[in-house]
Amino acid sequence: MSISPEQRLNDLWARGREFLGVEYAIMGGAMSWISERHLVSAISNAGGFGVIAGGAMGPDLLRAEIQATKALTNKPFGVNLITMHPQLDALMDVCIEEKVTHVVLAGGLPSGKAIAKLKDAGIKVVCFAPALVLAKRLVRSGVDALVIEGHEAGGHIGPVSTSVLAQEILPFVTEVPVFVAGGIGRGETIVSYLEMGAAGVQLGTRLVCATECIAHDNFKKAFIRASARDAVPTVQIDPRFPVIPVRAIVNKGTEEFMATQRRMIAKVDSGELEQTAAQLEIEHFWAGALRRAVIDGDVEGGSLMAGQIVGLVKSEQPMAEIFAELLAQAMDAIRAHPDQQNP
């Protein structure tokens, strides 16, 4: 006897729903300047799991953001903290004092001490695993869940695609829930990763053009106009000057960044500048660029961080409508394979 598509989907992401305490096992990716109280609460109110992007926030600002989010939703949400933040300990204290239920530690391998501190306070700890060996190490360290994010994602990216990471990690890490991220923009894709063993997914780019998102109209329009091919990683010109790849929509800022690299390299080669000074100049190029694009609407010189899935973003929509579309697509995918609906 077959079960309904709704029941099949509920069964597929039951572990993720239970872990997050939500209706849909869909986490919001923590995007700096974007994943703040309005978008986070909208994701949670629509049935998903919003995540505040702690980014460069200090403790006081983070506390205010958590409290403001609580005023907009009574549903579960989490906080993303950068492990290399100089005030990480104080930020974790804020999360503990504000009774945050889930903390996502990102931007590097977290220390066992940080994981233990959060867990001892009853907080569920989620970490990013860019490879199987690190996934296993994090599980041994006591993390409660993992996110695997492929290079199709926006912002800072690793070298491996989501589909390869999923095959590398999902069959071999079953002790904790694993959420898949990067290049996910339709419900069929969500179902495919759930059927591979994922507990849920994380979406970023697909949610930027939510009506509730505070991103500038220019920023949203850039997303709606862009195709997948427009979202490319920053290029490193010279191995002496390493550049952490960041996927973003190409604009004049991208061209200027390349020109800056060439200019700095030429100055070092001519003896006009020390290598460390040139490296700092390159690293500081994008400082404030994301804020200029997201908040001020400077889509020419600012950074338009976006995943390749940006080509599927066609309009501004309420968050509830975005989720309804994803769920309808997921149901259709399940109906297309009735043999998989048997209990």
Looking at residues 271-294, what average pLDDT do you find? 91
**How big is the chain by its Cα radius of gyration, in Å?**
20
Q: What is the pLDDT of residue 258?
A: 92
Query: Which amino acid is located at 82 in the chain?
Result: I
Residue 338 in this model has a pLDDT that exceeds 80: no
Sign of CA dihedral 27, 28, 32, 38: negative
Q: Helix, strand, or coil here: 2?
A: coil
Residue 341 in this model has a pLDDT that exceeds 60: no
**pTM for the full predicted model:** 0.95
Cα→Cα distances 292→29, 74, 256, Å? 20, 31, 15
| pLDDT digits 0-9 by tens, 133-187 | 999 999 999 999 999 999 999 999 999 999 999 999 999 999 999 999 999 999 9
**How far is 13 from 15, CA to CA, in rounded Å?**
5
Q: Residue 291 CB: number of other CB atoms within 10 A?
A: 15
Residue 342 in this model has a pLDDT that exceeds 70: no
Domain residue spans of the chain: 5-213+314-341, 227-305
Among 126, 172, 180, smallest CA distance to 153 is for: 180
Sign of CA dihedral 7, 150, 312, 20: positive
| Residue pointed to by tokens 């109906």 | 335
Residue 50 in this model has a pLDDT that exceeds 60: yes
| H or E element, residue 268 | helix 252-269
State the pLDDT confidence band at 337, using cuts at 50, 70 and 90: confident
Q: What is the pLDDT of residue 340?
A: 59
Looking at residues 224-235, what average pLDDT do you find? 96
Residue 268 in this model has a pLDDT that exceeds 80: yes
Q: What is the pLDDT of residue 287?
A: 80
The answer to whether 2 touches 177, Cβ cutoff 8 Å, is no
Percent of the chain scoring above 90 in pLDDT: 92
Q: What is the CATH number of domain 5-213+314-341?
A: 3.20.20.70
Q: What is the pLDDT of residue 210?
A: 98
Looking at residues 101-123, what average pLDDT do you find? 97
Residue 23 in this model has a pLDDT that exceeds 90: yes
**How far is 247 from 235, CA to CA, in rounded Å?**
10
**How far is 234 from 258, CA to CA, in rounded Å?**
8
